[in-house]
A and B are shown apart, each in its own frame.
Chain A
Amino acid sequence: MSQTSSVAASPPSMRAPSVARRNRKRQVRGTLPVLVLFLPPALLLFTVFVILPMGEAAWYSFYNWNGYGLPTQWIGTKNYELIFNNAAFRQALINNGLIIIVSILVQIPLALWLATMVTHKIKGAVLFRLLFFLPYVLADVAAGMIWRFVYDGQFGLVAGIFNTLGMEAPFWLADKQAAMPALLGVIVWKYFGFHMMLFVAGLQSIDKSVLEAADIDGATGWQKFFRVTLPLLGSTVRLSVFFGVVGSLQLFDMIMPLTGGGPSNATQTMVTFLYSFGVMRMQVGFGSAVGVVLFIICVTLAFGYKRIFMKND
């Protein structure tokens, strides 16, 4: 407040910048009420529900704490040592990697292929688009429970198919080797529709005249796809991969009803590991450490990916 009164007394040479300053001040005065009114609620929510819990988790991760009362038993980095010596956590890391690989190598190509099909003007394209998108609409937990029944070796759909073929039905979800592939199948089934919709939107925004020009130049279907469609879809593909990676890291709700991370932790992901080994065992300190590790992995992957692959998007 004291600055405004000093403006009149200042030497002429100072006039010009002070006018600019006054203008800026007027601007600030214009936006100030808006800032005061609209910033605090968002800032408060973000601080209370995002920043503080993250800080708290980081703090808890250095304690041996069961979640009751306040943490008192400081154990340094013991929790982190335990995490990296834990075979189930290593399995969870591998599984998360597997899910990312499958979503990039299987799910996204499949989604892209189907998207190119359903954007053609063929009969029933809209119906197929809807059908392919349906699994994504389903709640994750419901999808997990449905597939638990499907895979059941006694009463499930898989059992039915095997029995009609005269073979003994397998119990994939109870088999350490088969459980993860079975789970990957469900993940692809559940989320390819989402990626397909991204691609459909991307394909629709491609200028038809470019493809017509390619036609006139005598390009084959493959050439058109690889030389024209795919480069023009680049940003959508990069976005899709980004969603795939982040979604894979967060995978939890579908696994719990399906396998609960079992058998023998074969289908554990980082988040189910956090839940089973942190929350359910009342090892909140340990669980927080897992959360911190997960957070660092997510942030590194997300920002690294955006920096490297999405900088022009």
Chain B
Amino acid sequence: MNMLFGRLARHRLAFALSAVALMTGVSSASAQSVIKWLHLEADPNRLAVWEDIAAQYQAQHPDVKIEFQFLENEAFKAKLPTLLQSADAPSMFYTWGGGVLKAQTETGALRPINAALEADGGAWASQLSAAAVDGLSIDGKVWAVPFQWGQVSFFYNKDLFAKAGVDAASIKTWDDFLGAVSTLKAANITPIAGGGGDKWPIHFYWSYLAMREVGKDGFNAAKNGKGFLGDGFKNASQKLIDLGALEPFQAGYLGATSPDANAVFADGRAAMLLGFQNTGTDLFQANFATDNKGLAADNIGRFPFPGVDGAPGAITDELGGLNGWVVTANAPPETEQFLKFFVNKENATRLASDTGILPTTLGAEAGVKDPFMKEIVTEMGKATWHQNYLDQDLGPNVGRVVNDMSVELVSGQISADDALQQIQDAFSLEQ
């Protein structure tokens, strides 16, 4: 019986092997290399621009075929570890850098792009912002091609501020900010739109407060082993509790997603949103508002996250992201070539003007048309510190605990000490 089974199994194995060989043979016989591009861009307008750039590249390189693969944000994060280790790994995929990227690099599933950047005397590297390249480097190796910056700041509704008699220019410190929130509340205006259901929109508050309270050096010391139990972090957590106690958010914010919160702001149902760089653009407003128009550009104002008196963090320290494209180990060699084309000055300028991004390619800032985005470009040039989003920078585990704790703090469910202990527990697990 064993022998029979063994023979049958061998036959089956042989059959399976030959079938596999047949299939791989077919695909390798075709001359095209296929670049599988895994992204999470859900906006059809932005995607159309990408598709057009890809089509141009394919027209110039008939031997290359670019396939788009889409995964929704959360699904992307959940599926990527498995996907990367399978035979069906994408050739290039989206990254926010930070601890998640670091975890991915440690697996050998990725390919550093140093060689491509430094070829021809560093021709490609010289086109890109050195800070951006540095932001996606770990231990001297560049793990992703940067393509956009992100920055988080307060956007406000000028009409609602005027109605309540709040002067945005006077909001310099956290106390000023809390004062403004109270004034808005007193005028029966919802001060802030918040997406507590998604959690990370609230983590912006804790991140910024922590950055203001401990400063760049303090924060890096914490991240590099000192931990998160210090006084600065405690003050930051307490300030978040104080904010929550004023009940500044729209009703039901704890169940609201980020798009929900964006809609609240774009509809004029709340006066402020701590949002991404593109919050003020017409595209953003039209995307999220229930009337498909949103706030007029001249009704929107912007101010940086307020500072904290006597704390080391500067108001020019900013929280923001840096996105890039990671190349996987088995990707066809054309992948880097395509990426070089995708972020060249001409295309990056087009991405800036047509898809509303802050480009990381030098000279492509010319494509930035929106006045708020222009302002942010100037501000970023003067930034004293650009900190990556904490839920990315601190890695998937600690980052998510920070998100959870930010919501627990602002909704008054936990004390500052307990919240920090939870962050610290997760952090010490990874040391």
Residue ranges of A at the interface with B (Cβ–Cβ < 8 Å): 32, 36, 40, 64, 66-69, 152-154, 171, 173-176, 179, 259-260, 262-264, 275-276, 279-284
Contacts and interface: CB of A to CB of B under 8 A. Distances in A.
B197 A282 contact: no
In this complex, which of A40, A64, A176, A281 has the most chain B Cβ atoms within 10 angstroms of its Cβ?
A281
Given A67-B82, A68-B103, A69-B106, A263 B5 contact: no
A40 B251 contact: no
A280 B76 CA distance: 10
A152 B108 CA distance: 45
A263 B255 contact: yes
B396 A280 contact: yes
B254 A262 contact: yes
Contacts, number: 89
Interface stretch (B118-126, B277-285, B341-349, B405-413): B405-413
Contacts of B397: 66, 281-283
Interface of B: 1, 4-5, 8-9, 74, 77-78, 81-82, 84-85, 100, 103-104, 106-109, 196-197, 199, 251-256, 395-397, 400, 407-408, 411, 413, 429
Contacts of A67: 81-82
- Across the A-B interface, the 4 shortest Cβ-Cβ residue pairs: A171-B252, A174-B255, A68-B107, A67-B81
A263 B254 contact: yes
Contacts of A275: 78
Contact of A154 (B5, B199, B252, B413): B252
Contact of B1 (A36, A66, A263): A36
B196 A68 contact: no
A282 B1 contact: no
Given A69-B108, A171-B254, 13 more contacts: A40-B8, A40-B9, A64-B429, A66-B81, A66-B103, A153-B252, A174-B197, A179-B255, A263-B196, A264-B411, A279-B78, A281-B396, A284-B81
Chain A binding site: helix, strand, loop or mixed by DSSP?
Answer: loop
Contact of A174 (B106, B256, B396, B408): B256
Contacts of A174: 196-197, 251-256
A40 B5 contact: yes
In this complex, which of A69, A263, A276 has the most chain B Cβ atoms within 10 angstroms of its Cβ?
A263
A258 to B, nearest CB: 9
Nearest to A33: B4
A68 B109 contact: yes
A67 B80 CA distance: 10
B54 to A, nearest CB: 29
In this complex, which of A152, A154, A282, A283 has the most chain B Cβ atoms within 10 angstroms of its Cβ?
A282
Contacts of A154: 251-252
Contacts of B84: 68
13 contacts: A64-B429, A67-B82, A68-B84, A152-B252, A153-B251, A153-B252, A174-B252, A262-B196, A262-B255, A280-B400, A281-B397, A282-B395, A282-B397
Given A36-B1, A40-B8, A262 B103 contact: no
Contacts of B254: 171, 174-176, 262-264
A282 B255 contact: no
Given A67-B81, A174-B255, A174-B256, A36 B107 contact: no
Contacts of A152: 252
Given A40-B5, A264-B408, A282 B253 contact: no
A264 B396 CA distance: 19
A141 B5 CA distance: 44
A262 B256 CA distance: 11
A260 B107 CA distance: 30
A248 B429 CA distance: 32
Nearest to B100: A282
A282 B252 contact: no
A67 B397 CA distance: 12
B103 A263 contact: no
A237 to B, nearest CB: 36
A69 B107 contact: yes
A154 B400 CA distance: 28
A173 B252 CA distance: 8
Contacts of B106: 68-69
A286 B215 CA distance: 33
A260 B197 contact: yes
Contacts of A153: 251-252
Nearest to B264: A154
B223 to A, nearest CB: 18
Nearest to A32: B1
A185 B407 CA distance: 26
A262 B196 CA distance: 9
A95 B407 CA distance: 21
A281 B400 contact: yes
In this complex, which of A153, A174, A260 has the most chain B Cβ atoms within 10 angstroms of its Cβ?
A174
A76 to B, nearest CB: 13
A174 B109 CA distance: 40
In this complex, which of B82, B103, B109, B254 has the most chain A Cβ atoms within 10 angstroms of its Cβ?
B254
Contacts of B251: 153-154, 171, 174
Contacts of A171: 251-252, 254-255
Contacts of A68: 81, 84-85, 103-104, 106-107, 109
Contacts of B74: 280
A97 B256 CA distance: 27
Given A40-B8, A281-B400, A264 B413 contact: yes
Nearest to B255: A174
A40 B10 CA distance: 13
A53 to B, nearest CB: 13
Contacts of B77: 280
Contacts of A40: 5, 8-9
Contacts of B1: 32, 36
B197 A263 contact: yes
Contacts of B396: 66, 280-283
A68 B199 CA distance: 26
A176 B253 CA distance: 12
Contacts of B9: 40
Given A32-B1, A171-B255, A263 B78 contact: no
A259 B254 CA distance: 10
A276 B404 CA distance: 11
Contacts of A282: 81, 100, 103, 395-397
A179 B9 CA distance: 54
